[in-house]
Amino acid sequence: MAQQYQLKGITSLNDIKPGSKQTFEVEGVEGAQVLLTNTNGKVNALSPKCTHYGAPLVKGVLFGDRLTCPWHGACFNVTTGDVEDAPALDPLAKYEIEEKDGKVFITGDPKEVKGNFPNSLSIKCKAEGSEKVVVVGGGSGALGAIEGLRAGGYTGQLTVISSEGYRPIDRTKLSKALLADVSKLAWRSKDFYSESSVDLVDDEVTSVDFDGKKVTTKSGKTHDYTKLVLSTGGSPRWLPLDGLKGDLKNVFVLRTIPHVQSILEALGEGEKKVVVIGSSFIGMEVATALVGKKHKVTVVGMEEEPMERVMGKKVGHIFREIIEGKGVNFKMGASVEKATASKSDSSKVGAVQLKDGTTLEADLVILGVGVQPVTQYLKDNSAIELLKDGSLSVDDKFAVKGLKDVFAVGDIATYPYSGPGGNNTPVRIEHWNVAQMGGRTVARVINKKGEPEKFIPIFWSALGQQLRYCGSTVSGGFDDVVIKGATSADKPSWVAYYTQGETVVAVASMGKDPVMVQSAELMRRSKMPTKKELEDGADVLSL
């Protein structure tokens, strides 16, 4: 039963100026707050925290009716509370608001008001009709498709076939925190899916009959479809080197819960010597997590600085100093020759040999050398042609080119990038957000909700300090980086603008929220300042 509550510290809705937002405490409810926003002269009352990780939305970015989280770019419509952009799944609570007798009141569900947080998205339904959507894969792209379909009004049959053995999880926590408990990682309960008529099938698709519109699984079963969404993600690469291709124990890749469970089992009790091969984001995150657990960690990378290919030498050096400050050792500009067995147990790894003759003792080794698209089940299918990297070519609606009623999202999809500097160049971006936004786009297309919305890729990483990143340098690279702020390792507070000529194609930041999300919105609207304007002192937060 909805109740009415008075807000403290406000006597008139006119106090909330157009384009502004402010939080107010709720009279008589300890700790409860409400966020008020003014869009085009209309004041809306909403729950104050992002439903993804609880960021304070008052510190976010308000553009028209779009309110963006200051941390990870989740976006909500302030007039409805609905999710517009990943990674949030649940909507904001929306309250009725009125002014009377010099006071301002909201009316809402007591549980939502007291908790500052809404109830979970409700997409309960009983599947009916002849429409059958089959989603292959259980990662971020599948999650976006599932919830986008049901939240958008799809009531047909919905089947998700995944070989991972568990419902969709927050995969980002595997490398950032080395969590291995599905109850702490899963976004939704089993009941959520059953009540929403989402059939989760634990199986592996081995082939697709595109003409007959059916998929066949490893168990021998077939599933018919009217629409097919392929979201099988990426498979972590092994190195084709002695001792590092799966031929020695305690050498791991990291992508799934069983991978983390195996790593934790190998770590056991006490300090271990860990060698992380690869200075990618995954490598940096797992190294940071391991040193935080008091292990001795060495990172081996071929580049001069970590993540240099994507982030450049200057920013890569900043990351290196921060992570070194946490206790991680680096061997950069290095090439691995092989891994050798332990002297005490010839079945397990004992050391990593570098080509310069260096020997790094190792109780375990973790490989962070990239992923490859999981599309083997399509390799011999004459109806489809895989790109050189094994991915699928899709259009801006993520529809697979040359096929009808088939979509592909996430790590297996090469799509036309329309962000700054992109010029619709085909790219494959391995981001959690890109996969989920691809799934949401497909859901919108299937639900016939109009043309797909343009989105800017957003990425974040835990590197001892929180990194925020938007845009992409994948399509055309960058020729310069404009860095503003303090880059000291102990208290970084900076923004890096990656440019092609005068165009800003990507933005990275630490300790400067909400600059990244503001930049993403400016990019989306083609209003990002030029390189020269930034060098001359332009402030994106003032635009």
pLDDT for position 149: 98
Is 119 domain-assigned?
A: no
* 82, 114, 146 - which closes a domain: 114
Number of domains in the chain: 4
pLDDT at 114: 86
Tokens of 276: 């992380």
Give the pair of three-digit tokens for residue 333: 């500009």
Instruction: Tell me the torsion sign for CA atoms 240, 285, 398, 404.
Output: positive
Give the Cα separation of 446 and 431 in Å (integer): 23
Sheet (strand 425-427) strand order: 392-393, 413-417, 425-427
What is the arithmetic mean of pLDDT over 338-343? Answer: 98
pLDDT at 102: 94
Residues sharing a CB contact under 8 Å with residue 186, sequence separation 6 or more, in sequence order: 166, 167, 168, 169, 170
- CATH at 62: 2.102.10.10
CA-based nearest residue to 506, from 69, 515, 278:
515
CA-nearest of 367, 356, 362 to 341 is: 362
Residues 63 and 85 in one domain: yes
How far apart are the C-alpha atoms of 123 and 280, rounded to whole Å?
Answer: 37
Question: In this model, does residue 372 exceed pLDDT 80?
Answer: yes
Task: Starting at the earlier edge strand, list the strands of the sheet with 83-85.
Answer: 61-63, 66-68, 75-77, 83-85
Task: Name the 3-class secondary structure at 132.
Answer: strand
Structure tokens at 217: 């699984």
Do residues 377 and 363 share a domain? no
Higher pLDDT, 117 or 206: 206
| Pair 49, 110 in one domain | yes
d(CA 85, CA 77): 9
Burial of 359 (0-12, 13-18, 19+ CB in 10 A): exposed
Given a contact cutoff of 8 angstroms between Cβ atoms, the answer to whether 515 and 541 are in contact is: yes
384: domain CATH number is 3.50.50.60
The answer on 439 and 412 residing in a single domain is yes
207 domain-assigned: yes
The stretch 208-226 carries a mean pLDDT of 98
State mean pLDDT over 109-127: 84
Q: Which tens digits make up the pLDDT trace of 165-196?
A: 999 999 999 999 999 999 999 999 999 999 99
pLDDT band of residue 71 (cuts 50, 70, 90) is: very high
452 domain-assigned: no
Q: Quick check: is 122 in a domain?
A: no
What pLDDT is attached to residue 311?
94
> Are 143 and 209 part of one and the same domain?
yes
Q: Looking at the predicted structure, is the pLDDT value of residue 457 above 80?
A: yes
Alpha carbon distance 309, 78 (integer Å): 38
| Residue 174: half-sphere exposure toward Cβ, Cα within 13 Å | 24
Residues 53 and 90 in one domain: yes
Same domain, yes or no, for 25 and 106?
yes
Q: What is the pLDDT of residue 453?
A: 84
| 456 in any annotated domain | no
pLDDT at position 111, please?
Answer: 87
Q: What are phi and psi of 176, to 5 degrees?
A: -75, -30
Rounded mean pLDDT, 464-474: 94
CB 196 within 8 A of CB 125: yes
In this prediction, residue 542 carries a pLDDT of 92
pLDDT at 119: 62
Report the mean per-residue pLDDT for the chain. 96
Q: Residue 475's pLDDT is what? A: 83
Asked if 277 and 369 touch (Cβ cutoff 8 Å), the reply is yes
pLDDT of residue 118: 63
- 257 pLDDT band, cuts 50/70/90, is very high
- Among 202-211, 314-323, 445-454, the range scoring the smallest mean pLDDT is 445-454
Order of strands, sheet of 273-277, starting from the edge strand that comes earlier in the sequence? 251-252, 364-367, 273-277, 296-301, 329-332
The pLDDT of residue 451 is: 86
The reported pLDDT for the residue numbered 405 is 98
- Structural domain contains residue 466: no
Say whether both 143 and 202 belong to one domain: yes
- Look at residue 270 and tell me if it is in a domain: yes
| pLDDT tens digits, 221-246 | 999 999 999 999 999 999 999 999 99
The whole-number pLDDT of residue 490 equals 87
State the residue range of the domain holding 61: 3-114
Q: Is 220 exposed, middle or buried (0-12, 13-18, 19+ CB in 10 A)?
A: exposed
pLDDT score, position 56: 97
Q: Would you state the structure tokens that stand for residue 161, as one six-digit string? A: 């076939």
**Residue ranges with strand state E in 398-534:** 406-408, 413-417, 425-427, 458-462, 466-471, 480-486, 493-500, 503-510
* 260, 164 contact by CB (below 8 A): no
Q: What is the pTM of this model?
A: 0.96
Q: What Å distances lie between residue 455 and 16, 73, 139, 306, CA to CA?
A: 29, 11, 19, 27
Query: What percent of the chain lies above the pLDDT cut of 90?
Result: 94
> Does the pLDDT at position 116 exceed 70?
no
Residues 158, 258, single domain; the answer is no
Q: What is the mean pLDDT of residues 320-340?
A: 97
The answer to whether 225 and 145 have CB atoms below 8 angstroms apart is: no
Mean pLDDT of 352-378: 97
β-strands 61-63, 364-367 pairing: unpaired
- Quick check: 472 pLDDT over 70? yes
Q: Are residues 382 and 359 in the same domain?
A: no
315 and 361 co-located in one domain: yes
State the average pLDDT over residues 390-409. 97
Q: What are phi and psi of 325, to 5 degrees?
A: -65, -25
364 and 255 within one domain: yes
What pLDDT is attached to residue 476? 86
Whole-angstrom Cα distance, residue 385 to residue 397?
18
What is the Rg, in whole angstroms, of the alpha carbon atoms belonging to the chain? 24
Convert the pLDDT of each residue in 501-529 to its tens digit: 999 999 999 999 999 999 999 999 999 99
- Partners of 393 in beta bridges: 414
Q: Rounded to the nearest 5°, which phi and psi values hold at 274? A: -120, 130
